[in-house]
Each structure stands twice: as structure tokens, then as C-alpha cells.
Amino acid sequence: MMSAWGVMHSMSADRSGLAGRTITADTRRRVWSFARPYRRWIVGFVATTVASTFLGLLPPLVIREIFDSAIAEGDGGYLNQLFVVLLATAAGEALLSLLGRRLSSGIGEGLIFDLRRQLFDHVQRMPVAFFTRTQTGTLVSRLNNDVIGAQGAFTGTLGTVVSNVITLAGTLIAMLVLEWRLTLLAVAILPLFVLPARRVGRGLQAITREGMNLNASMNNTMTERFNVAGALLVKLFGRHDDEAADFGDRARRVRDIGIRSAMYSRVFLIALTLVGAVGTAIVYWLGGHLAIDGALSAGTLVALGLYTVRIYVPLTSLSNARVDVMSAFVSFERVFEVLDTPNPITDRPGARDLRQPAGRVEFRGVRFAYPSAESTPESLEVAPASATDGAEAVEVLSGVDLQVEAGQMVAVVGPSGSGKTTLVSLVPRLYDVTEGAVLLDGADARDLTQASLRAAIGTVTQDPHLFHDTVASNLRYARPGAADTLLIEACRAARIHDVIAALPDGYHTVVGERGYRLSGGEKQRLAIARMLLKDPAVVILDEATSHLDTENEALVQEALTEALRGRTSLVVAHRLSTIVDADVIVVLDGGVITESGTHDELRLAGGLYAELYDGLLRAETAQRTEP
């Protein structure tokens, strides 16, 4: 009954959307290209299976000899020999089974390994737009479930189809040679089982799929509520009871489907056991009558009985083989779908390195609209194509011209949502311009290699991210292998060293979402230190919109002065002290630069800047006098 589980499992595999599917020759070729490196292993596996099947045919024949020759003729010496053969066969089967498993797991796990690495590498190189549109959970499931499903194409089909065909053929031939009428009879009762089994299998499959969905929804609830931000939200709104009730509902559904699934599985197993027992009984009954009449020896009858058990499992499994193979191929297609998602931001052929950048940045007639859905596979989208998707994408920047000389500091100001973050994200090519060009040292950013472009630019985002790792590791992300003294130097310059030194484990304190929580200002200074370690020619700084307290503000200001010295900098500024320091201030409004000049020039002009400035001044004085 060992492989009954295999049969059951394969029958319950998720086969959504299989109806009417065909496998294209192209997919087949690609699947084969993944299997190619393992072709020696595959040959070895098939050979092992064949050998193991033939070895498995032996014991019933030996037992027949024991009855018909050794016992019938009272030959003790022959019996001893047969005993040794039985032991040797068992040992040989054990060894072959071990070898076969080693080969099949080597193929299967190797395939998972190859697919996962390719997927991970492809996905991590995708542009930001891909990640803003993709559901992380769905993507991770592609890397987990579908990769495993695709592996089933090999271990599953190879393991079940190939070995079942061989086992079945070998056993049937042996049975037919022994007594063909009984064999046909044993096969004839099979539809009695196969037909209901297929029905139960389909039911089980639907239940399994539903169970997986219910489980996923329960898990999603947990991950959303148990991350720091979610847990905080639940607490602040005091919704614990509602959350518990909602979770209880989901968990209850998982429980109920678990019971149904267990019952279906058991019915399936019982039916398989029953048909084996019935088949064997029939063989012994009719065969017994033949033996009484002297048409069949007792040994042959026992051998037939033993063989009969071995044909039902492979036959049932083969009756589902087509679906198994199809579902494995569908998994492959889903993996290919991700691998085939084109990456719109790649190095152009012949792209050159940006060597020893001076740090001149220029925006020339830049127009930009956020990319629409076309670059993401539909099945990975957060929401299916919405009404706005077909429509013309809204232009965020509509004709920006700006020249930043090497070593200059330009402050970008403007109302919230005016496109400041968007503008600066075009420099390191997080997005490509829709029209116009961004130039570095006079070269179009798209003509430079991404590696050299990003090496020249250091960015501190509005909400800097830290990995769940030590402070030191987070800093070394900018410069792997940097000596401790370098880290400390950078942190001193960024005015964050004292804070880190006072942490429980100093530079070895784990930070990130789940580690030690740094304040907003501290996090931004740590991000500045990380940027300093990179030592870029161009600095892009997107200041946090939230107001810092006065002390933090002064520290950030000092950190900034240090960070920006001798570098070209593009600062999205929200704080007066930063703005006033800038060489040039540009005001972004409605996707275009409406004003530009020094602080004094713009104040006198009395435009949007003067208005913004007065607002900021009022806000900051109010904040200062409040406590």
C-alpha cells in the first residue's frame, strides 16, 4: 500500500484551469532544456526502476518453487537455496530503492534549485514598477509552490508514470504466462474501482484546492496582523475582539475542510484496499477451484495472488497520469510567465561605464507618467485590470528642464504630490523617462551601465529601510567589508555615532522592523551614514515630511552639511534650514518647474515659493515656541 499515498496525493494536486489545456511544443522544449543537465541521472533512474521491477517479480516465483518443488518433493537443500534467494532479493530491492530515491531526489531538488535561483535573480532585477504592482504573497508562492509543482513534472511523471508502466507491464506479463484466464479476470474487476476512485479523486481535488485557499487567507490574516504596523493598528483602534472573531471564522473553515478532506482520503484508501482484497479473493477462489481440478498448481496460485495486489495501484495511478503531467506543465508555465516578464530597464547593448563622475546632472525636457500594467503578468497584479488602466496614464512631470552643476546643491520644493520624489527617482533610473532625457556628466543615463550609474549616486529616501540585521551589517550594505573604523567615521559625520554607541549591543544591535526601533530622525541619519560609506559623487536626499524635534533637526542639519560637502546634491527639502542653504531652489508645481533661483531672489519674487516659505516659517516657529 506504500504507493497508495502517492496515488492519492497526485489525485489531490491542485489542477485549477486544466480543462482544455494543451502543452505547446515551445513549453515542452523549454521544460526539456531545464531537464537536460540531468539526462544522465534520468537514464540512471529509469534503469534503476526497471531493475527494481524485475527484482520485485522474483519473490512470487520463488515462493511458487517452494510450494511446487521444494515442499512437494521434500527437497530441504533446495528450500535452503530458495531461502537465500528470497533474502538476497529483499536486500537488492532495498538497495535499488535507496539508489532510485537518491537519483529522483537529485533530479527533483536540483530542478527546484535551478528554477528558484533563476526566478529570484530575474525578479530582483525587475524595476520598481514591477514591485509596486505585484502582490508579494503571490510572487513568493510562485517561487515556492509552482517551482515545486514544476519539479513534479519530473519526479512525478518519471517516478509514477515510468515506474508504474514498467511495474504493470512486468507484472501482467508474468501473470499472463502463469495463468492468462485468471489474469484477465483480475483486470476485469478494475473498473469497479477506477470509476468511483476518479470521482472521489475529483472531489478530493476540489476540497484540497479550497483548503489551500482557506489556509492562505488565514495565513494572510496572521502575517498582516502580526507585523509591527498591523499589530499597532489593531491595538490603537482596540479591535482585538473583532479580530479574534474574524480569525476564528477563518480557522473554523480550515478545520471543517480538514475533516472533509480526511474523510475523502480515507474513503479513497479504503476503496483501494478493498479492491485489492476483492481481487485477491477472486483469484484465490477461482484459482482454488482450478487447483482442485488439477489445472493449476498450489504454488502458481499463490504467485498469482501475490502479483494481483501489485497491479491495482499502478493502474489507478496511470488512469490519472494525463492530468498529473498536465498540472506539472501548468506549474512550469506559471514559472515561465514570471521568467518571461520583460525587464524594461536594462543595460542597452554597448552601454558604457560612467568613470570618475564629476557629478553634473541635467534634466532635459523630461516628461514622465508612471508605467501602466503592461509590464506585469496579469496573474501577479494586485488587482485585475481596473477601469483606469486602459485610460491614458496621468502625466506626473510634463517638461522639466534643470541643470545641476558639479558640486552644486539644488533644493526641490513644492506642494505634496507635485512630483518631487518622482523627479529625483529618475536619476538612478528607478524609472525611465517617458520623453526627454536625464543626463549625467552629459551622457544620457540610458547609455550608461546601471552598475556604474548607481555606484555614482547615493540616495537617502523619504522613509529609509533597514534590513533585519545588525547596525554594522546595514552600514556595510553600502560597502561590503568596510573596516569598523570606517563605519564609525561615517556615523560620526552623520551625527549618529553617539546614539549607536549607547545602544545595548552598540554596532551589533539588531535593527529593522523587528529589531531595535530607531526614531525617524535617527533612522535618517543612519541612512546618511550608509550613503557616506558609499562615497558617491551625486547625492539624492528625500527629506522626511514629518517634523523633527529641534535637537534632532540640528543634528540632521549638521549631518547633511557634512554629507553634501564636495558632492552634487539634489535635495527634496521640507525644512527651512536645508532650503535656505541651497545654491539654487526650484519650485515644482503641477509637473513643471515654476520658479527657480536663490532664496532671496525667490522671496522677493513673491510667487509660490514666498507662500511656501511663509507657511514653513510659521509652522516652525510655532513648533519651537510650543514646548
Ligand X SMILES: Nc1ncnc2c1ncn2[C@@H]1O[C@H](COP(=O)(O)OP(=O)(O)OP(=O)(O)O)[C@@H](O)[C@H]1O
Q: Could you list the residues that contact Mg ion (CB under 5 A)? A: 421
Q: How far is the CB of 573 from Mg ion (least distance, A)?
A: 11
Q: Is 154 left (phi over 0), alpha (psi -120 to 50) or beta?
A: alpha
132 binds ligand X (CB under 6 A): yes
CB atoms within 10 A of CB 302: 20
- What is d(CA 200, CA 197) in angstroms, rounded to the nearest whole number? 5
List the single partner that 417 binds among ligand X, Mg ion, none, CB under 5 to 8 Å by kind: ligand X
List the x/- string, 516-555, binding to ligand X by CB under 6 A. Answer: -----------------------------x----------
What element of type H or E holds 214? helix 190-226
For residue 626, the minimal CB distance to ligand X (Å) is 23
For Mg ion, the closer CB: 319 or 425: 425
Q: Strands 510-511 and 443-444, how do they pair?
A: unpaired
**Residue (311 or 396) nearer to ligand X, CB:** 396
CA angle 273, 195, 185 (to 5 degrees): 65
Q: Check binding of 396 to ligand X (CB under 6 A).
A: yes
- Compute the least distance from the CB of residue 397 to ligand X, in Å: 9
Instruction: State phi, psi for 596 to the nearest 5 degrees.
Output: -155, 150
Q: Does 135 bind ligand X (CB under 6 A)?
A: no
**Minimum distance from residue 574 beta carbon to ligand X (Å):** 7
Stretch that binds ligand X, among 5-13, 141-149, 402-410, 411-419 (CB under 6 A): 411-419
308 binds, among Mg ion, ligand X, none (CB under 5 to 8 A by kind): none
Distance between CA atoms of 563 and 556, rounded to whole angstroms? 10
What is the closest distance, in whole angstroms, from the C-beta atom of residue 463 to Mg ion in the complex? 10
Pull the grid cell for residue 358. Answer: 564629476
Q: At residue 89, what is the residue type?
A: T
Give the nearer residue to ligand X in terms of CB position, either 301 or 544: 544
Cβ closer to Mg ion: 213 or 461? 461
Q: How far apart are CA 314 and CA 274, in angstroms?
A: 15
User: Least CB distance from residue 203 to ligand X, whole Å?
Assistant: 44
15 binds, among Mg ion, ligand X, none (CB under 5 to 8 A by kind): none
Q: Which is nearer to ligand X, 484 or 611 (CB)?
A: 611
The 10 Å Cβ neighbour count of residue 180 is 10
Q: Residues with Cβ < 8 Å from 203, sequence gap 6 or more? A: 264
Helix (H) or strand (E) holding 367: strand 361-369
Choose between 227 and 545: whose C-beta lies nearer to Mg ion: 545
Interface with ligand X in residues 415-444 (CB under 6 A): 416-422
Q: Which does 625 bind (CB under 5 to 8 A by kind): Mg ion, ligand X, none?
A: none
Where do we find the cell 557634512?
562
Q: Is 423 or 490 the residue whose CB approaches ligand X more closely?
A: 423
**Count of CB atoms situated within 10 Å of the CB of 590:** 12
Tell me whether residue 228 is exposed, middle or buried, using C-beta atoms within 10 angstroms of its C-beta: 0 to 12, 13 to 18, 19 or more.
exposed
d(CA 495, CA 373): 42
Q: Which residue is nearest to Mg ion (CB)?
A: 421
Strand partners, 412: 572, 586
* Pick 268 or 368: Cβ nearer Mg ion: 368
Give, as ranges, the residues between 336 and 395 that touch ligand X (CB under 6 A).
370
Are the beta carbons of 161 and 402 closer than 8 angstroms?
no
By beta-carbon proximity to Mg ion, the closer residue of 154 and 363 is: 363
CA-based torsion, 78, 80, 86, 89: positive or negative: negative
Region of 194-202, 315-323, 347-355, 409-417 interacting with ligand X (CB under 6 A): 409-417
Q: How many residues bind ligand X (CB under 6 A)?
A: 12
Which residues contribute to the site for ligand X (CB under 6 A)? 132, 370, 396, 414, 416-422, 545
